């Protein structure tokens, strides 16, 4: 069996691994990226419809926020590789059962006008905090996410030295639920905010203290959702092309079996088919902490406290975090036509549409049911018709539909396997709920060409990183955030083994398409290697 030698060997080819590989290759290192599946990109993948040619679907990654303005995008010169981002101006919409709707536009002035139709006071407050939180987001949120984490005590002391830092600490003492009730008086706007908070997978239910920071995030980033023309795969194709151009080598369909450790140092990896990829400088794992530490390294090389910590690392609903979804994928003749378009035609052009929640209590009731293992009957969904903005994703004149619904991985008293029995029935319920707001999607009509479900166990089967269907690769709960991710003992992208590093969604700041774990890990690795 052929053996290989590189400066750096990276396990996994998700977008964070490729961001890191891009920096290492650009710095002159000879880099190998090993991917278990036949496709690079991990969660940032785009796949053909299993039923009709010409339609493509996103299973895990639809909304990419502010990507062209992130540091790694320009550092790696990704616009040279055919990557183009589309920025839908009607960024978010929320139709209501009474025929009204709320709009969050790329232009906050237009958002303000939409909110004014519900509450002039709320509109003024939104416009005020949009600009206040933008400054806070740049100085606090962005810096936290795009820097290696520091211990919580140090971070707090650092924040206390500035006015904006003290303001951030003060508002973060509150829960997201308290924040929206202090900021807004309209129930629909409160529900809209809490839905956006929850669908991003932030922490437990919004009533938990110290979740106020997410309201800053939702205000600053809530109107910056974008999409790559041609699908999420275009982002990872551009990253892969950049790595190859700088001398890196991608190895798809190459499953790692173990990390080779010699004299206390990570020396390379061995694949399940017996090939060895030796690393002169370093090995980096971008896969989930459970695989990395318990499978690839093994308990014999680890301190017992780390082994115990990894065994207790929480994923998804078991950690009371909402990174677990049931999805409806479909192809249609027409895009959704909302009843609320009579109130404001812009709702039909919304990129991210929140359907089914009209009060904060409805959001809380759903999330509580999910924790208890019950697929809700009071369905609330995040909907999208990407072909409104990118017609390359379907045959001419046709459309792709996506709806995501919070769901438990394991169904109460039945387990995860119960999804196989109920998934098609539940799919019909999700579509029927959407059709209550957009009647041309009615299940018994002729608009839907085909449809299929994606359950939380399907997500886990598709990407084994996403254990228990968790797209964050680890619950976003306080004990697993920032310096604590994945554990305080292995914070800062360094494993407890010489020349072994970590990146990916299981490291700070977590999941979603941000590139931050890859960007931050690159800083640490390049600094250490000199």
9 strand-pairing partners: 32, 283
401-433 confidence digits (pLDDT tens)? 999 988 999 999 999 999 999 999 999 999 999
| pLDDT-derived band at 101, boundaries 50, 70, 90 | very high
- Cα 225 from Cα 61, distance rounded (Å): 11
pLDDT of residue 212: 79
pLDDT of residue 255: 97
pLDDT of residue 222: 81
- Cα 60 from Cα 324, distance rounded (Å): 10
- Comparing 324 with 233, the larger pLDDT belongs to 233
**C-alpha 62, offset from chain centre:** 9
197 close to 214: Cβ distance less than 8 angstroms: yes
205-253 confidence digits (pLDDT tens)? 677 777 777 787 778 788 999 999 999 999 999 999 999 999 999 999 9
- Cα 13 from Cα 503, distance rounded (Å): 11
Looking at domain 3-45+232-314+477-529, which CATH architecture does it have? Answer: 3-Layer(bba) Sandwich (3.50)
Mean pLDDT of 278-304: 97
Mean pLDDT of 270-294: 97
Neighbours of 308 (CB within 10 A): 11
Task: Please determine, for residue 507, whether its predicted confidence score (pLDDT) is greater than 80.
Answer: yes
Neighbours of 208 (CB within 10 A): 15
515 close to 20: Cβ distance less than 8 angstroms: no
Residue 62 in tokens: 């639809």
pLDDT of residue 345: 98
228 close to 86: Cβ distance less than 8 angstroms: yes
- Cα 372 from Cα 361, distance rounded (Å): 17
- Could you give the percent of the chain with pLDDT greater than 90? 78
- Sequence-distant (≥ 6) Cβ neighbours of residue 254 within 8 angstroms: 34, 35, 36, 271, 275
Residue 516 in tokens: 């931050």
Q: Which of 195, 163, 170, 201 has the alpha carbon at shortest distance from 180?
A: 195
Radius of gyration (Cα) for the chain, nearest Å?
23
Task: Please determine, for residue 202, whether its predicted confidence score (pLDDT) is greater than 60.
Answer: no
pLDDT of residue 203: 52
Report the chain's mean pLDDT, rounded to a whole number: 93
Task: Please determine, for residue 334, whether its predicted confidence score (pLDDT) is greater than 80.
Answer: yes
340-394 confidence digits (pLDDT tens)? 999 999 999 999 999 998 888 888 888 888 888 988 888 999 999 999 999 999 9
Q: pTM to 2 decimals? A: 0.95
| pLDDT-derived band at 320, boundaries 50, 70, 90 | low
Q: Which of 8-17, 193-202, 405-414 has the lowest mean pLDDT?
A: 193-202
- Could you give the percent of the chain with pLDDT greater than 70? 97
Mean pLDDT of 194-198: 76
- Cα 269 from Cα 261, distance rounded (Å): 9
pLDDT of residue 207: 73
| CA end-to-end distance (rounded Å), the chain | 33
73-87 confidence digits (pLDDT tens)? 999 999 999 999 999
134-167 confidence digits (pLDDT tens)? 888 888 888 999 999 999 999 999 999 999 999 9
Looking at domain 86-228+317-462, which CATH architecture does it have? Answer: Alpha-Beta Complex (3.90)
pLDDT of residue 518: 98
Residue 390 in tokens: 């990118």
Q: What are the boundaries of each domain within the chain?
A: 3-45+232-314+477-529, 86-228+317-462
pLDDT of residue 319: 58
pLDDT of residue 479: 87
3-state secondary structure of 341: helix
């Amino acid at each position: 069996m052929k053996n290989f030698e590189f400066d750096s060997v990276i396990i996994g080819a998700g977008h964070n691994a490729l961001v890191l590989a891009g920096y290492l290759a650009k710095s002159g290192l000879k880099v190998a990226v090993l991917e278990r599946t036949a496709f690079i990109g991990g969660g940032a993948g785009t796949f053909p419809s299993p039923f009709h040619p010409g339609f493509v679907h996103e299973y895990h990654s639809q909304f990419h926020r502010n990507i062209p303005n992130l540091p790694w995008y320009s550092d790696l010169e990704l616009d040279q590789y055919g990557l183009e981002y589309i920025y839908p101006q009607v960024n978010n919409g929320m139709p209501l059962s009474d025929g009204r709707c709320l709009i969050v536009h790329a232009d906050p002035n237009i958002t303000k006008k939409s909110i004014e139709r519900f509450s002039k006071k709320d509109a003024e407050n939104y416009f005020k905090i949009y600009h206040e939180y933008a400054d806070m987001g740049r100085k606090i949120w962005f810096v936290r996410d795009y820097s290696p984490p520091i211990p919580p005590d140090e971070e707090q002391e650092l924040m206390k030295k500035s006015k904006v830092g003290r303001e951030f600490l003060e508002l973060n003492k509150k829960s997201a639920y308290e924040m929206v009730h202090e900021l807004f008086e309209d129930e629909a706007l409160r529900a809209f905010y809490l839905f956006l908070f929850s669908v991003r997978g932030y922490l437990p239910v919004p009533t938990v203290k110290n979740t106020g920071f997410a309201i800053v995030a939702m205000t600053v980033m809530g109107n910056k959702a974008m999409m790559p023309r041609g699908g999420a795969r275009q982002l990872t194709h551009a990253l892969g092309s950049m790595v190859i151009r700088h001398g890196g080598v991608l190895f798809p369909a190459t499953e790692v079996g173990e990390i080779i450790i010699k004299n206390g140092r990570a020396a390379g990896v061995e694949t399940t088919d017996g090939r060895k990829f030796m690393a002169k400088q370093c090995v980096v794992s971008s896969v989930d902490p459970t695989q990395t530490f318990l499978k690839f390294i093994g308990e014999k090389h680890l301190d017992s406290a780390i082994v115990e910590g990894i065994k207790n690392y929480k994923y998804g609903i078991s950690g009371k975090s909402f990174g677990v979804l049931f999805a409806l994928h479909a192809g249609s003749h027409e895009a959704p036509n909302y009843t609320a378009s009579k109130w404001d035609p812009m709702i039909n052009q919304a990129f991210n549409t929140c359907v089914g929640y009209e009060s904060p209590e409805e959001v809380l009731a759903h999330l509580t049911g999910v924790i208890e293992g019950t697929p809700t009957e009071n369905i609330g969904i995040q909907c999208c018709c990407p072909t409104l903005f990118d017609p390359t994703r379907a045959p001419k004149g046709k459309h792709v539909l996506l709806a995501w619904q919070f769901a438990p991985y394991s169904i109460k008293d039945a387990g995860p396997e119960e999804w196989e029995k109920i998934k098609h029935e539940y799919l019909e319920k999700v579509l029927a709920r959407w059709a209550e707001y957009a009647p041309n999607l009615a299940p018994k009509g002729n608009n839907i060409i085909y449809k299929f479900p994606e359950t939380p166990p399907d997500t886990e089967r598709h990407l084994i990183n996403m254990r228990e269907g968790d797209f964050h690769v680890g619950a976003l709960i306080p004990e697993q955030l920032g310096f604590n991710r994945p554990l305080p003992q292995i914070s800062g992208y360094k494993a407890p083994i010489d020349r072994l590093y970590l990146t990916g969604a299981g490291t700070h700041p977590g999941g979603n398409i941000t590139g931050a774990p890859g960007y931050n890990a690159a800083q640490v690795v390049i600094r250490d290697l000199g």
